[in-house]
Amino acid sequence: RFEQAEVMGKLPEQFFAKLVKKVSYYVEKGYDVINLGQGNPDQPTPQHIVDALKEGADRPEFHKYSPFRGHGFLKQAAADFYKREYGVTLDPEKEVAVLFGGKVGLVELSQCYLNPGDVALVPDPGYPDYWSGVAMAGATMETMPLRKENDFLPKYDELPETVLNKAKLMFLNYPNNPTAGVATESFFKETVELANKHDILVCHDFAYGAVGFDGQKPVSFLQIEGAKEVGIEIYTLSKTYNMAGWRVGFAIGNESVIESINLLQDHFYVSLFGAVQHAAAEALNGSQRCVDELVDTYERRRNAFIGRLNENGWNVESPKGSFFCWLPVPEGYTSETFSDYLLEKAHVVVAPGIGFGSEGDRYVRAGLLTSEDRLIEAADRIAKLI
C-alpha cells in the first residue's frame, strides 16, 4: 500500500540476521552452543563509568535537552584523550563531533559527501555499514581487496587510475574487522599522499583503536602529518570501555567535515542524554587501567584459542589487534558452508567471511568474546571435525 522510497531497495541485505536465526534454532533445541560469531563485547562496562552514569542521572540539568552538538566537557574530554593517547592536538569545538556510536557517523559521512553516481572506496572484506551508507546516498562502491599477502592492507598501486580519479570518499579500518590486520605509519602516510593526489576524503574507522597485542599500540590516522587536511577518524567507546549499548562515539579531524556532520545531525538529533555524556567523559578522563586489563584479557584469550587450534594441527595466524581471528576455511568449503558445518556438527558459531565481502569467502571470523575455557573448548570441538 505504501510505496517505499527507491533507496530502500538499494539497502544491502542484513547478512548476519540470517546467521542469528540459524543459531537460535540450535539454542532453542538445547544444544551447548559456543557463539564466536558476534562482535558484541561480553564484559560489563567498568564500574566507575556506571557510577558516573548513576550520579549524572540524579542531576536535573541533565534531564533537559542536551546542547545540540553535545556538552563542551565531553568534546574537551575527547580532545584531551587524543592528546594524551596519540599526541594529537584537536580543537574540541571545531574538530570533534559527538555521535550516537560510530556506526551512525559512518553512514552520516556518506550522506554529507556522496551524490548519486559518486564513487566511494570500501575495503573488501569490510564492516558492512560502509556499504549501507554508500547505498543510502545512491552512490556506488569500488572495493579495495584486503589480502593476507599484503598484511590485509589495500594495495593502492593496484587500484585503477580511473577509479582513483572518480573516488570521492574512502573508508579504512585498522585494527581491522574482520581480518584483524593492523596499519603501519608508512601505510597511513601513503594514504595521505594518495588522498592529496586524487582529492579523496579519508574516513579511518578506529573502532578497535584500543586493542593492540604484544605491546603494540595501534596507530591513529590523525598521528600522521597532513591527515587532518584529508580526513577524519571515527572513534567509539563501544569496544574500548565495553560500552556498546551506550551508543557513544566521535568523529574527529578535518574541521569542514566535522562541521558537515554536525550540521546534518542538527536536523536529526539533539545530542545524547546528558548523564551518558557525563559518564563517557569519565571513561575518557578517568583511569585507563580498565583498558589495559581489557587488552590483557583479549590477549590471553587469543593465546588460548589460537594456541589450541595450532596444537590441534590447524595452523592459523595470531591476530595483532582487534578481538577477531580470521580463519582460512579448509579446501572444499565456502565461508558459509564451513560456518554451517561448524554450527551443525560442533555447535560453534563463527561469522562467514562472505558477509564482509566476496574476498572474505575463504575465511570465517571468530570473536574472542567468551572465556578462555570456552574458547579452548571451541578449538577442541573444531579440531575434532577438521
Tell me the CA distances in angstroms from 384 to 32, 46, 143, 225, 282, one per residue in order. 16, 37, 36, 50, 46
> Minimum distance between the CB of residue 248 and ligand PLP, rounded to whole angstroms?
8
Nearer to ligand PLP, 114 or 351 (CB): 351
Count Cα atoms within 13 angstroms, Cβ side, for 195. 27
Q: Which part of the chain contacts ligand PLP (CB under 6 A), choosing from 101-109, 139-147, 210-218, 329-337?
A: 101-109
Using rule CB under 6 A, residue 177 touches ligand PLP: yes
Which DSSP symbol is given to 13? P
Q: Is 41 in the site for ligand PLP (CB under 6 A)?
A: no
- Which residue stretch of 4-12, 98-106, 259-267, 356-364 sits at the interface with ligand PLP (rule: CB under 6 A)? 98-106
Given a contact cutoff of 8 angstroms between Cβ atoms, the answer to whether 282 and 306 are in contact is no
Judged on CB neighbours under 10 Å (0-12, 13-18, 19+), 384 is: exposed
User: CB-wise, 109 or 195, nearer to ligand PLP?
Assistant: 109
**Burial of 70 by CB count in 10 Å (0-12 exposed, 13-18 middle, 19+ buried)?**
buried
Q: Is 365 helix (H, G, I), strand (E, B) or coil?
A: strand
Residue in 127, 131, 250, 298 binding ligand PLP, rule: CB under 6 A: 127
Q: Does 231 bind ligand PLP (CB under 6 A)?
A: no
Shortest gap between Cβ of 117 and ligand PLP (angstroms)?
26
**Contact residue for ligand PLP among 110, 238, 262, 339 (CB under 6 A):** 238
Binding mask 203-222 for ligand PLP (x = CB under 6 A): --x-x---------------
CB of 106 to ligand PLP, least distance (A): 6
63: its cell numbers: 534531564
Contact 45, 286 (CB under 8 A): no
Residues that bind ligand PLP (CB under 6 A): 39, 101-103, 127, 173, 177, 205, 207, 236, 238, 244, 249
